[in-house]
Amino acid sequence: MTGSVAFDTIMEFAGRFGDYILPEKTNQLNVAFLVERLERRRGGTAANIAFTLALLGERPLLGAAVGGGDFVDYAAALEAEGVDTSGVVTCDDVSTATAFITTDKDGNQITAFHPGAMARAAGVDLTAHSDLSEVVVGADDAGAMALHIEQARALGARLVFVPAQQIPAMPDAVLRRGLEEAWIIGGNDYEFEMIRDRTGLSIDALRASRMVAVTRGSAGSELHSPDGVAVIPAAPVSEAVDPTGAGDAYIAGVVSGFRSGASPDVAGRIGSLAAAYVVEQHGPQRHRFDAASFRDRYAAAFGDSLKVQSEGWA
């Protein structure tokens, strides 16, 4: 599990960004948003995915670069949930990465990110862990992403490529390499438009030899593969509180579902339900569920029992 580990400063804006941004003036953008809620939380793509994987009964290995003075409590919290943090690289002279995220009432987000220790993520050596069957390469230092794509190949591990916020900043060769090597490519519909703009590769082109997981917020998601498209409904939520980290939980659910022998339809629904738990909370690591409650809610949400080959899963 590679990618960012960060502290997220979340700010909630009660209006709509679109009401404050004039499309014809984006070259002279100067806007301010009065936020009604501000909170510092534990986050980062790799940590968020690992957290939900642990709730789903997995024992994920976290491989990331973190600060020396501010990660101790964070590490303890992840370990308590079942995440193996032995793969982290600790950098005593810098802080853990920090994201500043402003969310509007429609769930749109504007994010500024300070990488901190993440800039040294190339120090994470996956080849020291020869038993890895899947490797998630999430948004991270671009050089580290390039390295970990190649290390996943060397290990014979299936690559889950989730470039997300790094798509605009990645060198073309690294982005294309990740797309070519991936078992699953994950992202939202906007991110896949960025991929198409950068590479010319559409979702249809990408799914010719791999799975492509596309999330569309409250409209649900799709799992594209050479065998066709599984259209996944969004799981009902009691109240949509905060979308931060929902996409990470979705990827965790899809990966855990496939690891447990689920079909694309079922794996997608597992991801959809995992994301629903996140949306109902403030923060990407505030949700909780156990095996029984997850199965019960799955049945209620989708009108069918959860069918996987692995006994006792989730």
pTM: 0.90
Q: Residue 204's pLDDT is what?
A: 96
Domains delineated in the chain: 6-26+34-302 (3.40.1190.20)
* CA neighbor of 51 nearest in space, from 288, 244, 234: 288
Q: Per-residue pLDDT for the chain (314 aa), expressed as one digit of tens each?
A: 999 999 988 898 999 998 988 888 778 888 889 998 888 899 999 999 999 999 999 999 999 999 988 999 999 999 999 999 999 999 999 999 998 989 898 888 888 889 999 999 999 999 999 899 999 999 999 999 999 999 999 999 999 999 998 999 999 999 999 999 999 999 999 999 999 999 999 999 999 999 999 999 999 999 999 999 999 999 999 999 888 899 999 999 999 999 999 999 999 999 999 999 999 998 899 999 999 999 999 999 999 999 776 555 55
45 contacts 69 by C-beta, under 8 angstroms: no
Return phi, psi of residue 202, to 5°.
Answer: -85, 170
HSE-up of residue 111 (Cα within 13 Å, Cβ side): 20
Please tell me the chain's helix, strand, coil percentages from 3-state DSSP, rounded to the nearest 5.
Answer: 40, 25, 35
In whole angstroms, give the CA distance from residue 46 to residue 158: 16
Neighbouring residues of 278: CB distance < 8 A, sequence distance ≥ 6: 52, 242, 243, 244, 245, 246, 248, 249, 284, 286, 287
Mark whether 172 is an active-site residue.
no
Neighbouring residues of 232: CB distance < 8 A, sequence distance ≥ 6: 220, 221, 222, 223, 265, 268, 269, 271, 272
187 contacts 217 by C-beta, under 8 angstroms: no
Calculate the CA 182 to chain-centre distance. 15
Q: Which of 8, 84, 104, 248 is catalytic?
A: 248
